[in-house]
Amino acid sequence: MSETAKLKVNGKEYEFPLLKGTENELAIDIKSLRAATEGVITLDSGYKNTGSCESAVTFLDGEKGILRYRGYSIEELASKSNFLESSYLLIFGELPTAVELKKFHDDILAESLVDEDIKKILDGFPKSAHPMGVVSALTSSLIAFNPESVNIESSEDMYDAIVKLLAKFPVLAAWTLRKKQGLPLDYGDVNLGYVENMYKMMFSKPNCEFKANPVVLNALDKLLILHADHEQNCSTSTVRIVGSSHAGLFASISAGISALWGPLHGGANQAVIEMLEDIKNDGGDYNKYIAKAKDKNDPFRLMGFGHRVYKNFDPRAKIIQVAAEEVLADLGINDPVLEIAKGLEKVALSDEYFKSRNLYPNVDFYSGIIYRALGIPVEMFTVMFALGRLPGWIAQWKEMRMKHEPIGRPRQLYTGEVLRGFEPIEKR
Ligand code: CMC
């Protein structure tokens, strides 16, 4: 007999099915709650206890610090896979064969030009525009150039839309950077791998031959894999909820980019490096900043620390810390903020405030140090996150549409005025 959960409301008992996931996680299925209880709903602001869907894409155990894409551990993928292969895995559910991966890459290359008119839209933005706003707008503009909506019943249509987005998004991101830096736009090179081409479109110089450092490419590839999915986080939930109204793929992803921008989410990578710089310029006394973070009268938070789901080390942060040291050593860069970051981490991990709240470094704590070493401007850090998260957003959107999930539409507990009469303006 399957297990149930019992709930007593106003003296009456109700039973709800208890669902078990493949990793033995339990969920109370409250689909029938409101109808059975004639109007009672659950309230869970920030969705701290609410599952929004059943998903087979990514498994995360925040207590144990586990992250797996489609059953493969993040540690194994980061050391043995590459970003394109991991993207295929996330989107289609299985690791590709060599033939499947080549076709996937060829199909992406075939779509890796954007309409020249996109340049006019790009030109409309001032150089001072934040790249996340520009990239979100340009992604949305792809709809205008590809107006036909995706027929989700056709696997070919779905595949074409996915390939188009994976092909064109790096162009939009790279051009956003080049416009900001006043460099001529680069169209990439179909002879390069996916990540190398992304790197070329961002960093090639018009007056010298493009050559990528393999250590840099390897670090970039790893960072992209580590960011590729993270189950129902803020931006992914945004993509799913926008897509649930049957808005198209590009519109849904554009909304996800906006959600990622915030400093409590992907924008934290920019905020971390700015915080580390502030500490450096302030004499390097990180204890002062630890005290600020603990002071409830001070809104300051230690950026790159804490996570809604991880109550243990973020496994991605561990991998990134090692990669950051490797990249800096290989490039011969001595970045003082790395030392500040390590010192800050050491103090925080032994401090009662952080220990009692299970606040550990998250993915964003060290990623900025690598991005900076790679020559990526601070304002582009969150765009780098978006480039990595793209396959995860696509996989989650695809899963949601293929399962014909209903439109996302939460309820509320109304706490406003009850019915009152309208006062004519002269009587107010
Ligand atoms: N510095 C100081 N105190 C913190 C921090 C921090 N970074 N994070 C959480 N706390 C405290 C918070 O004040 C609260 O204390 P108390 O119980 O005394 O009120 C307690 O820890 C729980 O925090 P919360 O805000 O209820 O936790 P949450 O799950 O709602 O928020 C978070 C998670 C990531 C938004 C938050 O930890 C935070 O703001 N961190 C800094 C921003 C950051 O690094 N974000 C990147 C997240 S990882 C990548 C991604 O998802 O994009």
pLDDT digits (tens, 9 = 90+) for 250-295: 999 999 999 999 999 999 999 999 999 999 999 988 899 999 999 9
CA 113 to ligand 1 center in whole angstroms:
40
Distance from residue 156's CA to the centre of ligand 1 (Å): 42
Residues β-bridged to residue 20: 26
Q: Reply yes or no on whether 307 is catalytic.
A: yes
Spot the catalytic one: 105, 227, 230, 307.
Answer: 307
Distance of CA 4 to the CA centre of its chain: 34
- pLDDT under 50: residue ranges of the chain: none
Longest dimension (CA), the chain: 78
Torsion of CA 360, 361, 362, 364, to 10 degrees: 160
* DSSP 8-state symbol, 209: -
pLDDT at site 342: 87
CA atoms within 13 A on the CB side of 325: 8
Q: What is the DSSP string of 262-325?
A: STTTTTHHHHHHHHHHHHHHTTS-HHHHHHHHH-TTS----TTB--SS-SS--HHHHHHHHHHH
Residue closest by Cα to atom 15 of ligand 1: 357
Residue nearest to atom 37 of ligand 1 (CA): 306
Q: Give 73's strand partners.
A: 68
Nearest ligand 1 atom to alpha carbon 314: 48
Kindly list the strands in the beta sheet with 72-73, ordered across the sheet, starting from the edge strand earlier in the chain: 58-61, 66-69, 72-73
pLDDT at 286: 87
122, burial (CB in 10 Å: exposed 0-12, middle 13-18, buried 19+) = buried
Is 404 annotated as catalytic?
Answer: no
Sign of CA dihedral 392, 393, 398, 399: positive
Q: How far apart are CA 135 and CA 380, in angstroms?
A: 10
Half-sphere exposure of 170 (CA within 13 A, CB side): 28
Q: Which atom of ligand 1 is nearest to the CA of 307?
A: 34
Cβ partners under 8 Å of residue 222, min gap 6: 78, 319, 323
Residue with tokens 């895995």, as numbered in its chain: 89
- List ligand 1's pocket residues with C-beta within 6 A: 46, 233, 264-266, 268, 293, 301-308, 357, 359, 362-364
* Token representation of residue 148: 């036909």
Q: What is the pLDDT of residue 1?
A: 52
State the pLDDT at residue 324: 87
Q: Hey, what amino acid is at 111?
A: E
Atom 45 of ligand 1, residue of closest alpha carbon: 264
Residue from 50, 67, 359 whose mutation best tests the ligand 1 pocket (most atoms within 8 A of CB): 359
Q: Report whether 377 contacts 177 (CB < 8 A).
A: yes
CA of 229 to the centre of ligand 1 (A): 20
Rounded Cα–Cα distance for residues 424 and 279 (Å): 57
What is the model's pLDDT at position 183? 95
Report the distance separating Cα 184 and Cα 172, nearest Å: 13
Contacts of 109 (CB under 8 A, 6+ apart): 167, 190
Q: Residue 231 and residue 70: Cα distance in Å, rounded?
A: 11
CA of 341 to the centre of ligand 1 (A): 18
